[in-house]
């Protein structure tokens, strides 16, 4: 048995993979593959509608919030958000708390003024900068709820009066959060929602239509909303896999139930980490991510040996991001507690043997 700690694309529920693979040959007993059906058929429209209504239900969204499934990775949103929300003579506030947030800042600067109101760059983004003030008249505040590479996670929504824009790519639907408090949420699907190739967007429609610039049709959120995510051919299979994953999440008991499981996994991992002097967590304890645990070894020369042992034990995807080094274990929704139990046992055994 393989234990999949990949950071993304990452583990999906077995049931989802089973159903998706059956649908590749015969979708809903239609005799056609899901890859062969038109997006404007009743067959696919049912999939899209179910996916959208599951998002609304699982996130408990109010009537102002619209749900879109759009092409492109989350990186597209680094550009599409300011394109739609930030005029050239306006200012947006950004929190710079990781590599992905820094990329979002770079893109936003192409469209208007960006003020970085807080940054954790001084300590390689190993903590979250929670104290900040925002400039008067700023049109939104952007932050990354979970920093996939550095292993930090906002435990609560930042305090601000501004409309909030959040990149939730790596922790969406993993815990209860005031989703309605956000003006705009975006997430690449390939971690907690499904497979790569589609973005989930949740947008409060009241923030749209305010910029003066002309927006190309394919990038205009309002037109996507008017067309119900069907302006052009949507990524049919990726949306189908998202729908199956959302169905699975609902069956598991929804966001509250998965949060409980995610807390158990993170508690088990971090309590073990803190009990073994051989391993270290570089991230401030209060900011530790429950989705991506970053850790290193006190003696760096042992890291290769630990990685080899992990490989023998079928622990897959724990090598750290190339910019951080060490190790990273991702505990997304679909990862069972039993995989974390194996990981911590391997760490304990290694510490006993080599320490």
Min. distance of Cβ 95 from ligand PMP in angstroms?
Answer: 13
Q: Which of 96, 100, 171, 287 is catalytic?
A: 100
**Does 197 sit near ligand PMP (CB under 6 A)?**
no
Residue 169 touching ligand PMP (CB under 6 A) = yes
Of 69-77, 257-265, 282-290, 319-327, the segment contacting ligand PMP by CB under 6 A is 69-77
Annotated binding residue 233: yes
Among the listed residues 23, 90, 148, 339, the single contact to ligand PMP using CB under 6 A: 148
Contact between 167 and ligand PMP per CB under 6 A:
yes
Question: How many residues in the chain?
Answer: 355
Q: Which is nearer to ligand PMP, 151 or 188 (CB)?
A: 188
State CA 76 to chain mean position distance: 14
Say whether 285 is catalytic. Answer: no
Copy the structure tokens of residue 276.
């073994």
d(CA 74, CA 84): 15
Residue 190 assigned as binding residue: yes
CA distances in angstroms from 319 to 64, 127, 248, 269, listed in the order given: 42, 21, 28, 16
DSSP letter at 175 equals: S
- What 3-state DSSP class applies to 317? coil
> Tokens representing 12?
């999906």
Q: Does 170 bind ligand PMP (CB under 6 A)?
A: yes
Helix, coil or strand: residue 89:
coil
191 is catalytic: yes
Catalytic residue (one of 191, 220, 248, 265) = 191
Q: How far is the CB of 196 from ligand PMP (least distance, A)?
A: 7
- 100 binding ligand PMP? (CB under 6 A): yes
Compute how many other C-beta atoms are within 10 angstroms of the C-beta atom of residue 117. Answer: 23
- Under 8 Å between Cβ of 279 and 298: yes
Least distance CB 100 / ligand PMP (angstroms): 4
Identify the three-state secondary structure at position 184.
strand
91 is in an annotated binding site: no
Instruction: Figure out which of the listed residues 8, 13, 151, 235 binds ligand PMP, where binding follows CB under 6 A.
Output: 8
Handedness of CA 212, 213, 214, 220 (dihedral sign): negative
State yes or no: residue 75 binds ligand PMP (CB under 6 A): yes
Cα separations in angstroms, 252 against 15, 217, 256, 319: 12, 38, 10, 29
- 100 as an active site residue: the answer is yes
DSSP code for 159: P
Q: Which residues bind ligand PMP (CB under 6 A)?
A: 8, 73-75, 100, 144, 148, 167, 169-170, 188
Residue numbers belonging to the annotated binding site for pyridoxal 5'-phosphate:
74-75, 100, 148, 167, 190, 232-233
Active site (catalytic) residues: 100, 167, 191
Residue numbers belonging to the annotated binding site for L-glutamate:
40
């Amino acid at each position: 048995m393989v234990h999949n700690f990949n950071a993304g694309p990452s583990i999906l529920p077995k049931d989802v993979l089973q159903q998706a693979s059956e649908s590749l040959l015969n979708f809903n007993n239609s005799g056609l593959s899901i890859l062969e059906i038109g997006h404007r058929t009743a067959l696919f429209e049912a999939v899209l509608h179910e996916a959208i209504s599951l998002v609304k239900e699982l996130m408990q969204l109010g009537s102002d919030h619209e749900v879109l499934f759009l092409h492109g990775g989350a990186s597209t949103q680094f550009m599409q958000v300011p394109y739609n929300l930030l005029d050239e003579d306006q200012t947006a506030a950004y929190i710079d708390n990781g590599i992905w947030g820094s990329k979002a800042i770079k893109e936003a600067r192409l469209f208007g003024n960006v003020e970085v109101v807080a940054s954790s760059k001084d300590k390689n983004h190993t903590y979250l900068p929670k104290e900040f003030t925002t400039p008067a008249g700023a049109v939104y505040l952007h932050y990354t709820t979970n920093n996939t590479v550095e292993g930090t996670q906002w435990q609560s929504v930042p305090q601000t009066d501004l409309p909030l824009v959040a990149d939730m790519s790596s922790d969406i639907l993993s815990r209860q959060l005031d989703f309605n408090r956000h003006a705009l949420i975006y997430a690449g699907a390939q971690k907690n929602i499904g497979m790569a190739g589609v973005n989930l967007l949740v947008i409060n429609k009241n923030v749209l239509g305010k910029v003066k610039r002309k927006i190309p049709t394919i990038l205009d959120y309002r037109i996507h909303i008017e067309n119900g995510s069907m302006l052009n051919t949507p990524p049919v299979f990726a949306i189908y896999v998202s729908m199956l994953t959302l169905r699975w999440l609902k069956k598991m008991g929804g966001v509250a139930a998965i949060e409980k499981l995610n807390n158990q996994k993170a508690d088990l991992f971090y309590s073990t980490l803190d009990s073994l002097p051989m391993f270290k967590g570089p991230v401030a304890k209060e900011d530790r991510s429950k989705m991506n645990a970053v850790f290193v070894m006190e003696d760096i020369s042992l890291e290769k040996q630990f990685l080899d042992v992990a490989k023998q034990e079928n622990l897959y995807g724990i090598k750290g991001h190339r910019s951080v080094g060490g190790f990273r274990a991702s505990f997304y929704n679909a990862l069972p507690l039993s995989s974390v139990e194996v990981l911590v046992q391997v760490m304990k055994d290694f510490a006993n043997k080599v320490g």
